[in-house]
A and B are shown apart, each in its own frame.
Chain A
Amino acid sequence: MSQNNIVLSVADVSKRFGGLNALSDVDLQIEEGTVHAIIGPNGAGKSTLLNVCVGRIKPDEGHVIFDGEILDRHKPHEINQLGVARVFQTPEIFPDLSLLHNVMLPALAKRDGAFKFNAWVGLERENALRQEAEHILEDVNLYDERMQEAASLSRGNKRRLELAMGLIQKPRLLLLDEPTAGMARHDTNRTIDLLKKLKARGMTKVIIEHDMHVVFSLADKISVLAQGQIIAEGTPQEVRGNPKVQEAYLGGAH
């Protein structure tokens, strides 16, 4: 595992909502090629942290730096174009479009940039793009449904579709917000297998997750967030044995 390259660094980020300190002085370094899990009890600020990373929320203080760029000064589409893709907690897909088109859209964005007026080339002629999309849909086991409208999918399948939408862009950094929440156990296991397979391809990922089973089977490194602060950080073994973490999960949450 490479120890050198920091892809994303969150530097002293604070965010308040009214009187609530959602994040206070959060520092976080994500190394290239690793799977970095962020865990913590409900309301710890995990989703806020992810939203700050993709430009959905502006931090009150501090910065998020990706590959030398200060992300919080960019718009969402610019952040994506820099190579940060995100998979949302509630599946965010294009419900009226077919699965194939759902996956082709991010691929188009990757190929053509944030804007390209192309009204003459028919979609049907985009062979390379379609094949790529079909491969990804095979990876997430949705190939047979590729011509269906995305709205017709089950919740678990929608989440897998969204995962495919993130994966097709081959982003340098993929942010996953509870990729298995609301999935049945066998679905969860399939998603874990998929993510493990991807790990071999060397994509850097940040995963927010409740499910400890998922976290401990995937993560190289874990940061524990509680009440807007990072209280522990380390390998899964280190974190598991950390008394602070046990307190946050068992005692401190009450």
Chain B
Amino acid sequence: MLLQERKDLFLMAIFSFVVLSAPILFQPIGAGYPDLLQKFAIYGIFAIGFNILFGLTGYLSFGHAAFLGIGSYAAVWSFKLFTMNVVPAIFLSVIAAGLFAALIGFVSLRRSGIYFSILTLAFAQMSYSLAYSVLTPITNGETGLQVRALLKEGQTRGLLDADIRVIDSFFGVEEFGIPITNFFGLKMSGWEGFYFCAIILIIAFFISLKIFRSDFGLMLRAIKSNQNRLNYTGINTRPYLLVAFMISGMYAGLAGSLLAVTDPLAGAERMQWTASGEVVLMTILGGAGTLIGPLIGAGIIKYLEQIFSSINNYVLFTFFDFLPVELQVLVTKLTSLFVGEGWELTLGLMFMIVVVFLPGGVVEGINRIMGLFHKRKRKEDTTTNHKAQPAE
């Protein structure tokens, strides 16, 4: 086996180990429960996919939330029409997101740079508005699309208010009230739900690793480096970009379907531009163009969101109990701006600090620290060599 492949195998082993033992590893920081870990995994998949486009080709899409939303809608429709089994839902979502990405990509990729970003943003906002207005029969508008109880005989209700689940009905699956999603009978809630997402995350990461190391990945990196030169080298860059765009759209669709698996409802707000912006932040914060960076970024943002948004004034006030009362009130008032509803302020600050001081994201930070460590080690080596030299 070749050196790089052996390294990658090792990386995959470590990665799988960390993901699968996350419930124990993340216990000390208070993140060892399924809901949050599931969120890490799902947004991790979203960011890994986004990175295939942005990290490798440099094309910054500001509309990836559209694919996330489409994934969710497709999954919920699969639950409503066919079965509560998650497998068809995931397939449908990925295919739907891929087709939609082909359409948006075909138009948007005619431009590059800021124009490309604006085009994708426009498309995503269009999808968002459509989901709220014209497409209400499909999306159920503001209420959002939900899984309902089965349509009973004699009832005349629309598909938005009652489900048919033809496959489940065919196999005579019994339902009491509103059913839970399952993987061939295994209920997708609690730890089972997390492990399902975790295994999909590992597969998604493996595919991304393969792309990074392949001829295709080199082409994408060359597009980022000098697209014009690549054209004169005999490469038609447009189809490469379109495929990269579709793959990252499919990753987003996958993430969207997993959101629906954990909580079977889909709303238009998932397609809003803030959601598109969030995945950009995750990728840059962790380190765009690196394998693991986007995942780290997704983890950090979702973790801090959980922590900061749950802090309220009372918690702050008791935290600053050691201060004199006047100061306690003032400090509580000031810091309360950065927590709870205002946690995005913290996120913004953090993002600014990272972009200014560590443009390569957290991964660059880690590399720098490792670099310092190596340098010191090398220095020691050379000094010992130096001492040894006179003896020769």
Contacts and interface: CB of A to CB of B under 8 A. Distances in A.
Given A80-B232, A109-B235, A120 B214 contact: yes
Contacts of A109: 233-235
A105 B214 contact: no
Interface stretch (A1-9, A21-29, A95-103, A231-239): A95-103
Given A97-B222, A105-B222, A124-B213, A117 B232 contact: no
Given A105-B218, A115-B236, A124 B5 contact: yes
A89 interface: no
A156 interface: no
Given A93-B226, A124-B4, A105 B211 contact: no
A101 B221 CA distance: 10
A123 B239 contact: no
Interface string A99-118: 00100111011101111111
A84 B380 CA distance: 53
B306 interface: no
B225 interface: yes
Contacts of B232: 54, 76-77, 80, 86, 88, 92
B240 to A, nearest CB: 7
Task: Among A76, A97, A112, find the residue whose CB has the most chain B CB atoms closer than 10 A.
Answer: A76
Given A80-B234, A115-B235, A123 B228 contact: no
B234 A114 contact: yes
Interface string B1-21: 011110000000000000000
Interface residues of A, number: 39
Q: State which size class the interface on B falls in.
A: 20 to 34
Contacts of A169: 234
Nearest to B220: A119
Contacts of A94: 221-222, 225-226, 229-230
Interface of chain B, main secondary structure? helix
Contact of B217 (A77, A116, A119, A126): A119
B225 A118 contact: no
Contacts of A81: 234
B229 A119 contact: no
A51 B221 CA distance: 26
A113 to B, nearest CB: 8
Given A76-B232, A124-B213, A117 B224 contact: no
Contacts of B211: 119
A121 B215 CA distance: 7
A19 interface: no
Contacts of A118: 214-216
B213 A92 contact: no
B218 A104 contact: yes
A112 B226 CA distance: 19
B133 interface: no
A112 B216 CA distance: 11
Nearest to B223: A94
Interface in B266-317: none
A124 B215 contact: no
Contacts of B5: 122, 124
Contacts of B210: 119-120, 122
B225 A114 contact: no
B92 to A, nearest CB: 23
Contact of B218 (A54, A86, A117, A123): A123
A109 to B, nearest CB: 4
A73 to B, nearest CB: 16
B126 interface: no
Contact of A121 (B214, B221, B224, B229): B214
B231 interface: yes
Contact of A77 (B213, B215, B218, B234): B234
Given A114-B236, A124-B5, A92 B228 contact: yes
B2 A125 contact: yes
B149 interface: no
Nearest to A97: B225
Contacts of A113: 234
29 contacts: A75-B231, A76-B232, A77-B234, A77-B237, A92-B229, A92-B232, A93-B226, A96-B221, A97-B221, A97-B222, A101-B218, A104-B218, A106-B234, A108-B218, A108-B219, A109-B233, A109-B234, A114-B235, A114-B236, A115-B240, A117-B243, A118-B215, A119-B216, A119-B217, A121-B214, A122-B213, A123-B215, A123-B218, A169-B234
Q: Which 9 A-B pairs have the closest CB atoms?
A: A80-B234, A109-B234, A114-B236, A94-B225, A119-B216, A96-B225, A92-B229, A118-B215, A115-B239
Interface of A: 54, 75-77, 80-81, 85-86, 88, 92-97, 101, 104-106, 108-110, 112-126, 165, 169
Given A95-B225, A109-B233, A114-B236, 8 more contacts: A80-B232, A94-B226, A94-B229, A115-B235, A116-B215, A120-B214, A122-B213, A123-B215
Interface of B: 2-5, 210-211, 213-219, 221-222, 224-226, 228-237, 239-240, 243
